[in-house]
Amino acid sequence: MEDLKQEGSAKTPVVEFNASGELLLKGRSIPENSIEFYKPLIEWIESYSETPNSSTVLNVQLEYFNTSSSKCILDVFKKLESVTGSEVSVKWYYEEDDEDMLEAGEDYEAIIDLPFEMIEVEEI
């Protein structure tokens, strides 16, 4: 299984999905249409779920995301929720003054049946 790596841009985040089970989304996610951007990520998780590592951690370190992305991020979580044979968890990072980002993490935590850890950092 190959790793999935994408560089970030002004509107899209850095993606580092490692077959070792360490997954990272970092930066900003504000494309007008995020379906196209998130499709390969969701497909990657689908293949990964065939032979997952014993532990899978998704690190979400987003500075901004728009509402178009919020649906796709939910789909990423839902895909991870369906991975069996691996302890899947989410680390949700937010900057110390960013109440909205913490709230967004809590919203996902309420919808998705995965353990979330909220991690406050000075800067993402």
Please give the Cα distance from 71 to 108 (Å, whole number): 10
Nearer to other proteins, 67 or 84 (CB): 67
Provide, rounded to whole angstroms, the least separation between the CB of residue 50 and other proteins: 26
> What mask, x for binding other proteins by CB under 8 A, covers residues 101 to 120?
--x---x--xx---------
Between CA 121 and CA 2 the distance in angstroms is 30
Query: Do 75 and 44 touch, CB atoms closer than 8 A?
Result: no
Per-position x/- string for 46-85, each x denoting binding to other proteins as judged by CB under 8 A, each - no binding: -----------------xx-xxx-xxx-x-----------
Question: DSSP code of 107?
Answer: H
Residue 34 and residue 79: Cα distance in Å, rounded? 16
Residues that bind other proteins (CB under 8 A): 10-11, 30-35, 63-64, 66-68, 70-72, 74, 95, 97-100, 103, 107, 110-111
